[in-house]
A = this chain, B = another copy of it.
């Protein structure tokens, strides 16, 4: 498994693979890979002949007061994870390889990015969509794999691919959790021991919501209230958002009648974590 830093080198690999008639998958990541990423690479290597993992802490998707500078990095560890999960190539560019100083092109997905992380992190999805478009144009994969933990990102990317006619299948993969239920995230490393304990409230509150839904509750305000109460039991936690939305257009719903996404973002101390689940209902 090779690691390359330039677009040119990636394209040389791709051309070689294409000449052999091989299918190619892309797993875009910001590195510091955990078992969630690993599950994406494993699935991609089951479903494709070759898998490229991009490792790029994309500066344009971080806000001015966010954690770009402290975002954890460990390329040697990442290489081991990729290798063991069946990756064929790591693309690990410098920002200067990805962005010209006078770059002025952005890919914007409106509507779907108004709420949730889009509302709380202005410019975030513009950065995500633009860099993912670039990666798609560099790798030209048959399939690309994204985690369901970033549920809004997955919906936005799917819409972008549809709207811009990318000939790429977008595959969403289930959230991978620690044994105690905390969703795997590169940002979990930021948590102190006490915060790590408090962070369980995200998953716990969602499980409480899921139980209420299974018991037949359909009022989103009551469900939200249940989540809120559970998180507010903790002292270091601050709710960023609790949203119950249509899983396709990401618009808020009042009464749950179709499949919905229940998504939350919570600050545990300074660390912002997200979690979600989809509640499937048979369409009437």
Interface flag for A140 (CB, 8 Å)? yes
Interface flag for A47 (CB, 8 Å)? no
State which of A130-138, A145-153, A265-273 sits at the interface with chain B: A130-138
Do the beta carbons of A109 and B102 come within 8 Å of each other?
no
Nearest B-chain residue to A168, judged by Cβ: B137
Chain B neighbourhood of A159, CB < 8 A: 104-105
Do the beta carbons of B104 and A111 come within 8 Å of each other?
yes
Do the beta carbons of B106 and A167 come within 8 Å of each other?
no
Chain B neighbourhood of A140, CB < 8 A: 140, 167
How many interface residues does chain A have, given as a range? 20 to 34
In the assembled complex, the CB of A10 is this many whole angstroms from the nearest CB of chain B, namely: 10
Closest 10 CB pairs of A and B: A105-B163, A104-B111, A137-B165, A104-B110, A134-B165, A103-B163, A105-B109, A105-B160, A138-B165, A106-B108
Interface flag for A164 (CB, 8 Å)? yes
Interface flag for A166 (CB, 8 Å)? yes
Interface flag for A162 (CB, 8 Å)? yes
Contacts A107-B105, A108-B108 hold; do A137 and B100 have CB atoms under 8 A apart? no
Instruction: Mark out the residues of chain A between 225 and 284 whose CB falls within 8 Å of any chain B CB in the assembled complex.
Output: 249
Complexed CA–CA distance, A167 and B11 (Å)? 9
Chain B neighbourhood of A163, CB < 8 A: 100, 103-105, 134
Interface flag for A200 (CB, 8 Å)? no
A104-B109, A104-B159, A140-B167 are known contacts; what are 4 more A-B pairs with Cβ within 8 Å?
A: A102-B111, A104-B163, A105-B107, A105-B109
* Among A107, A109, A140, A165: residue with most chain B CB under 10 A: A165
Q: Is the interface of A mostly helix, strand, loop or mixed?
A: mixed
Complexed CA–CA distance, A1 and B159 (Å)? 33
Chain B neighbourhood of A249, CB < 8 A: 102
Chain B neighbourhood of A106, CB < 8 A: 107-108, 110
Instruction: Mark out the residues of chain A between 98 and 142 whose CB falls within 8 Å of any chain B CB in the assembled complex.
Output: 100, 102-112, 129-130, 133-134, 137-138, 140
| Of the residues B102, B111, B133, contact of A164 by C-beta under 8 Å | B133
Nearest B-chain residue to A130, judged by Cβ: B164
Complexed CA–CA distance, A109 and B107 (Å)? 9
Complexed CA–CA distance, A50 and B134 (Å)? 26
In the assembled complex, the CB of A103 is this many whole angstroms from the nearest CB of chain B, namely: 5
In the assembled complex, the CB of A136 is this many whole angstroms from the nearest CB of chain B, namely: 8
Interface flag for A7 (CB, 8 Å)? yes
Nearest B-chain residue to A162, judged by Cβ: B100
